[in-house]
């Protein structure tokens, strides 16, 4: 491990890691065993355990956090959208996140308000913050329902899985993280609601507010929010001590909180003239996304889907094993579940079913979808440990043994990878220059004709060019999959692309279709010429500069002349 100065703060040090950071990995791995000791030691306070668990999660993810390159193309898309919204904050006029909701991009603006740049380290730090917040809320909820001891032992496998993993889908800033945090908050507030005899109207309204924000993080997460809203409503209606009027007021608070944010967003959309775009591109466009998928076949493929998540598959198997063991043990002991436990178990079961539907509906099997499953899995694991009686000191050795074996698997995997020459750290940062995004040849070419802060348009899927140049997007669709590939709304997307392009009139246009592009590699079928009005506008107002790294660069005529004049001025 080496150290370099971070550019954002003069006093900060930027650690960096090679592919085999043994001197870092081994001490942190030993600390994980210390975390297991803290989890099973009743004398250790819950606050101490939580701080230690969060610190472990941060240390385990640190090599990927300081990696200032794109881990997944989605994060370049969202960094670019946040950078663009900082300049033009009207969503659907300046940006369209396609399957990702507006809140994902707006949230990424927040680090910039305290001086962080729009780059990958900032995105990775923000991702860690959202994961840590979500896990903290899930831990608190599990403690409410299943006790402190069960929650502690349930927490560690999640820390290990999402800390040790090298699967980029779990490490990059993705569109599941904001809705995950909102949902985790709603689970926690629902747990507090169940524990109160006379719940506050503001508590119920706050649950509704969080649920109403979920669709604007990810439409895919709406079924999960629906389950929470349903069970909150059932709880209100089944409270015998409440009068009909009190129940009506509480249901009104839930409904009012739920519609507040959607109405606010729709109102602002109408005010800024983008309501039709919101309906067309976010609602209709996303409901048509992968709508021919077979839901039954998708569910049958769940085991293969879990395996794509690398160590996540281990987590699923451990969770199901502990839950099954807990159910068998409690039945043999003749233990009877309390009414509240049955209510919670019903909630978890329906939530799990809704989540499985949500993550499999499209059939895409993107691994980052699995983040939405962390809440139900956390609760199922906590329930399993509770039914095994570890809160009462029973089967203590089982909880220690299962968690120890789970942790040992990561050590064995790392040792085998090292012997095979497979990188322990897939995200080496020892060659990067601190907190600086390294420009590609394409970005260097762009910056020779433009400057950061000016608009850029990229045809294809290379949103990293926006991040490298620090140039906001000049078109709402910063990756052009929906303009390039055939689907029911393709013509509408193409018309918007041309309209945005003409409106922003960026100094540089990049056609990234080629060998360096994601999915769009054939210029004959997917080049920008497929949209005739776009080709005509580019031919009339731009000059083809050349091919850089198999990417075509076009520069606006006036900018070409200005650069030539500037070059001549420096020669004489």
Q: What is the pLDDT of residues 119-128, one digit of tens each?
A: 999 999 999 9
At residue 290 the predicted structure's pLDDT band, cuts being 50, 70 and 90, is low
In this structure, the answer to whether residues 129 and 262 fall within a common structural domain is yes
Residues 149 and 391 sit within 8 Å (Cβ to Cβ): yes
Residue 89 lies in a domain: yes
Quick check: 104 pLDDT over 50? Answer: yes
pTM value?
A: 0.95
- Structural domain total, the chain: 2
Residue 436 lies in a domain: no
Largest CA distance in the chain: 95
pLDDT confidence of residue 294: 83
Quick check: 566 pLDDT over 70? Answer: no
Task: Choose one of 388, 420, 452: the last residue of a domain.
Answer: 420
Residue 542: phi and psi, rounded to 5, are -125, 155
494: enclosing H helix or E strand = helix 490-504
Residue 433 lies in a domain: no
Quick check: 568 pLDDT over 70? Answer: no
Rounded Cα distance, 225 and 550, in Å: 45
In this structure, the answer to whether residues 106 and 237 fall within a common structural domain is yes
Residues 188 and 137 sit within 8 Å (Cβ to Cβ): yes
In this structure, the answer to whether residues 402 and 518 fall within a common structural domain is no
Quick check: 4 pLDDT over 90? Answer: no
In this structure, the answer to whether residues 257 and 388 fall within a common structural domain is yes
In this structure, the answer to whether residues 370 and 297 fall within a common structural domain is yes
User: What is the per-residue burial (b if ≥16 Cβ within 10 Å, else e) of 396-428?
Assistant: eebbbebbeebbeebbebbeeeeeeeeebbbbb
Query: Taking all residues of the chain, what is their mean pLDDT, rounded to a whole number?
Result: 93
In this structure, the answer to whether residues 88 and 197 fall within a common structural domain is yes
Residue 426: phi and psi, rounded to 5, are -80, 0
Residue 289 lies in a domain: yes
Residue 378 lies in a domain: yes
- Domain, as residue range, for 540: 441-571
Nearest to 172 by CA among 457, 426, 452: 426
Rounded Cα distance, 6 and 41, in Å: 39
Quick check: 195 pLDDT over 70? Answer: yes
Residue 434 lies in a domain: no
Rounded Cα distance, 69 and 58, in Å: 19
Q: Pairing state of beta strands 508-511 and 551-556?
A: antiparallel
In this structure, the answer to whether residues 545 and 516 fall within a common structural domain is yes
Render pLDDT for 217-272 as a digit per residue (tens, 0 to 9). Answer: 999 999 999 999 999 999 999 998 899 999 999 999 999 999 999 999 999 999 99
In this structure, the answer to whether residues 477 and 413 fall within a common structural domain is no
Render pLDDT for 530-559 as a digit per residue (tens, 0 to 9). Answer: 999 999 999 999 999 999 999 999 999 999
Residue 478: phi and psi, rounded to 5, are -80, -10
Residue 350 lies in a domain: yes
Question: Which residue matches tokens 């598959």?
Answer: 313
The alpha carbon torsion through 538, 477, 514, 120 (nearest 10 deg) reads 120
Residues 153 and 303 sit within 8 Å (Cβ to Cβ): no
In this structure, the answer to whether residues 397 and 522 fall within a common structural domain is no
Rounded Cα distance, 39 and 63, in Å: 25
Quick check: 339 pLDDT over 70? Answer: no
Nearest to 36 by CA among 153, 165, 159, 163: 153
| Other C-beta atoms lying within 10 Å of the C-beta of residue 566 | 10
In this structure, the answer to whether residues 375 and 455 fall within a common structural domain is no
Residue 425 lies in a domain: no
Q: In sequence order, what are the beta bridge partners of 544?
A: 554
In this structure, the answer to whether residues 328 and 373 fall within a common structural domain is yes
**Residue 414: C-alpha distances to residues 20, 21, 362, 452 (Å):** 10, 11, 34, 41
pLDDT confidence of residue 565: 65
At residue 498 the predicted structure's pLDDT band, cuts being 50, 70 and 90, is very high
In this structure, the answer to whether residues 116 and 211 fall within a common structural domain is yes
């Amino acid at each position: 491990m080496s150290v370099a100065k971070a550019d954002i703060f003069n006093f900060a040090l930027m650690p960096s890691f090679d592919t085999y950071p043994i001197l870092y990995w081994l001490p942190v791995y030993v600390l994980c065993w210390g975390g297991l000791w803290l989890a099973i030691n009743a004398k250790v306070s819950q606050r101490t355990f939580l701080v230690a668990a969060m610190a472990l999660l941060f240390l385990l993810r640190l090599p990927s956090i300081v990696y200032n390159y794109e881990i997944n193309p989605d994060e370049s898309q969202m960094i670019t959208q946040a950078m663009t919204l900082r300049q033009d904050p009207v969503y659907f006029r300046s940006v369209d996140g396609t399957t990702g909701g507006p809140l994902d991009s707006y949230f990424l603006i927040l680090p910039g308000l305290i001086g962080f740049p729009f780059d990958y380290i900032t995105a990775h730090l923000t991702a860690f913050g959202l994961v840590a917040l979500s896990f903290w809320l899930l831990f608190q909820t599990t403690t409410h329902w299943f006790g402190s001891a069960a929650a502690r032992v349930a927490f560690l496998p999640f820390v290990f899985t999402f800390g040790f993993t090298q699967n980029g889908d779990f490490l990059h800033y993705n569109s599941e993280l904001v809705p995950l945090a909102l949902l985790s908050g709603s689970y926690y507030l629902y747990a507090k609601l169940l524990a109160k005899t006379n719940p506050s109207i503001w508590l119920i309204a706050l649950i509704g507010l969080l649920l109403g924000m979920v669709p604007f993080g990810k439409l895919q997460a709406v079924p999960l929010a629906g389950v929470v809203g349903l069970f909150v409503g059932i709880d209100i209606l089944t409270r015998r001590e409440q009068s009909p009027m009190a129940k009506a007021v509480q249901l009104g608070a839930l409904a009012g909180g739920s519609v507040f944010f959607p109405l606010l967003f729709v109102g602002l959309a109408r005010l800024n003239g983008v309501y039709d775009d919101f309906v067309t591109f976010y609602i209709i466009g996303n409901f048509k996304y992968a709508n021919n998928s077979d839901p039954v076949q998708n569910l049958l493929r769940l085991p293969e889907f879990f395996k794509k998540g690398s160590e996540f598959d281990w987590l699923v198997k451990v969770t199901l094993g502990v839950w099954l063991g807990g159910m068998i043990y409690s039945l043999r002991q003749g233990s009877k579940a309390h009414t509240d436990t049955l209510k919670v178990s019903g909630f978890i079961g329906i939530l799990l079913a809704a989540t499985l539907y949500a993550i499999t509906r499209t059939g895409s099997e993107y691994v980052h979808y699995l983040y939405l499953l962390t809440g139900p899995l956390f609760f199922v694991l906590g329930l399993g440990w509770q039914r095994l009686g570890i809160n009462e000191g029973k089967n203590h050795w089982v909880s220690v043994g299962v968690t120890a074996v789970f942790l040992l698997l990561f050590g064995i995997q790392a040792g085998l990878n090292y012997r095979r020459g497979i990188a322990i750290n897939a995200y080496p940062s020892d060659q990067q220059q601190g907190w600086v995004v390294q420009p590609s040849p394409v970005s260097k070419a762009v910056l020779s004709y433009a400057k950061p802060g000016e608009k850029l348009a990229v045809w294809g899927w290379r949103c990293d060019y926006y991040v490298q140049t620090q140039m906001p997007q000049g078109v709402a669709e910063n990756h052009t999959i929906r303009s390039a590939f055939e689907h029911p709304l393709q013509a509408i997307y193409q018309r918007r692309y041309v309209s945005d392009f003409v409106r922003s009139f960026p100094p540089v246009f990049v056609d990234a279709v080629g060998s360096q592009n994601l999915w769009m590699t054939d210029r004959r079928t997917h080049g920008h010429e497929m949209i005739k009005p776009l080709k005509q506008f580019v031919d009339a107002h731009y000059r083809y500069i050349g091919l850089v790294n198999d990417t075509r660069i076009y520069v606006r005529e006036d900018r070409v002349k200005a650069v030539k004049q500037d070059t001549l001025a420096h020669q004489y």
